[in-house]
Amino acid sequence: LGETPPALLAEYAEAARAALDPGIWDFICGGAGDERAVARNTAAFEAVRLAPRVLTGVGAADLSVRLFGQSWGMPVAVAPMAHHTMVHPEGEVATVRAAGRFGVPTVVSTFAGRTFEELVAAATSPLWLQLYCFRDRGLTRELVERATAAGFAGLVLTVDVPQLGRRLRDVRNAFRLPDDVRPVNLPVSEAYSSTDVHARSDLDPALDWSVVDWLRSICPLPVLLKGILTPADAARAVEAEADGIIVSNHGGRQLDAAPATLDALPTVAEAVDGRCPVLLDGGVRAGRDIAAAVAHGADAVLVGRPVLYGLAAAGEEGAAGVLGILSEELTDVLLQTGRRSPADLDASLLFGAAAPAV
Ligand code: FNR
């Protein structure tokens, strides 16, 4: 990083691009097919305009929210991403420390590069386990039990990966993880040296809704479902007694034809109708995007790639820099729009066709 710290998330992306091996950069920034869903996610946020309200008497913003019985410093969590050790030797330990500085949870990937126990020791904010349900239920159960015993606060079951998406950059680069990057919470196996092979051989493409009951039967922690995009699936998730829903298209890495998550959010939120929290990820790149997501019906967002870019650029300081920019920008948006807290960010914040008559 240069002398002046980045003031926008895009500057961390540039720094990461300069620092990373091109194949690793492609693995992180890329998506499925010709990356339409990746582009859609950010384009949907770029189209949002916010309607300021003036002379509201708001003196100071309070970013904090309460979700799943815990206090969050702002309505943001770190999205689960595999292999943080691929971009920085401290990996997820540095990420978790950065998240702790802002009181935001980290969702730890099944394919994390640091052990659950190391992460709990480093954490000062909640840790959640992102879970891929493997064909091997015994292995899946072991992961859940270890995370629970270590002190994790919840499970995030990823439901949008029947198989790994067609990530053409990785195919063209014949991308392989560096030898020293390993998912240390899984048993060692040759197959794990290639993300493609591990996904094909181990993920269960025939999962159905009974997996939610099964998870409940083996674990007392709250269970969120990540990767819901339709009101029908959202209603089904509530029926299955999911504790939360994450509207996600996996950062555009799975179904290339998927809608932008911001576009999918309102009907999902309507179907859920307050029965459980609704979170969103995909394309959140500024404080204004967090505000837009909340105004469209989200309780909070998850931020993915930008956190890895911060980590790649400057370790814990970089990841914290990314979260710090989001915090400052969200504070600014609240004050500029005359709102005190995220709870005040309702649909009246949206300028134009989407806004109700108030
Ligand atoms: C991911 N994502 C992901 N999701 C998941 O449930 N388990 C995982 O292990 C991973 N791994 C992963 C690695 C990398 C490099 C990326 C970029 C993404 C998806 C992630 O949780 C999230 O849905 C998106 O990244 C959010 O979009 P943005 O913020 O990256 O646009």
**Structure confidence by residue, pLDDT tens digits, 243-302:** 999 999 999 999 999 999 999 999 999 999 999 999 999 999 999 999 999 999 999 999
Question: Are residues 16 and 312 in contact, defined by beta-carbon separation less than 8 angstroms?
Answer: yes
Q: Which of 250, 255, 280 to mutate to test the pocket of ligand 1 (most atoms within 8 A of CB)?
A: 250
Q: Whose CA is nearest to atom 13 of ligand 1?
A: 81
Looking at residue 198, its pLDDT comes to 53
Residues known to be catalytic = 250
> Residue 214: what residue type?
W
Tally of CB atoms within 10 A around 232: 12
What is the model's pLDDT at position 6?
96
State the pLDDT confidence band at 197, using cuts at 50, 70 and 90. very low
**Mean of the pLDDT values across residues 27-50?**
98
What is the average pLDDT value for the chain, to the nearest integer?
A: 95
Judge whether residue 66 has pLDDT over 90. yes
Ligand 1 pocket test: pick from 25, 108, 253 the residue with the most ligand atoms within 8 Å of its Cβ. Answer: 253
Mean pLDDT of 151-159: 98
Q: Read off the pLDDT of each residue in 37-62 and give the average, rounded to a whole number.
A: 97
Is the predicted pLDDT of residue 347 greater than 90, yes or no?
yes
Q: Please state the rounded mean pLDDT for residues 162-175.
A: 97
% of residues, the chain, pLDDT over 70 = 94
d(CA 250, ligand 1 centre) in Å: 6
- Please state the pTM of the whole predicted model: 0.96
Cβ proximity of 30 and 253 under 8 Å:
yes
* Residue with more model confidence, 325 or 190: 325
ipTM greater than cut 0.90: yes
Structural tokens at position 344: 């005040």
pLDDT (mean) for 144-159: 98
Atom index in ligand 1 nearest the CA of residue 42 equals 31
Is the pLDDT at 225 greater than 50, yes or no? yes
User: Ligand 1 center to residue 140 CA distance, Å?
Assistant: 19
Better-scored residue on pLDDT, 78 or 196: 78
Residues 6+ apart with CB under 8 A from 64: 71, 72, 73, 74, 103, 341
| Backbone angles phi and psi of 127, in degrees to 5 | -115, 135
Work out the pLDDT band at 354, boundaries 50, 70, 90: low
Residue 200 has pLDDT above 50, yes or no: no
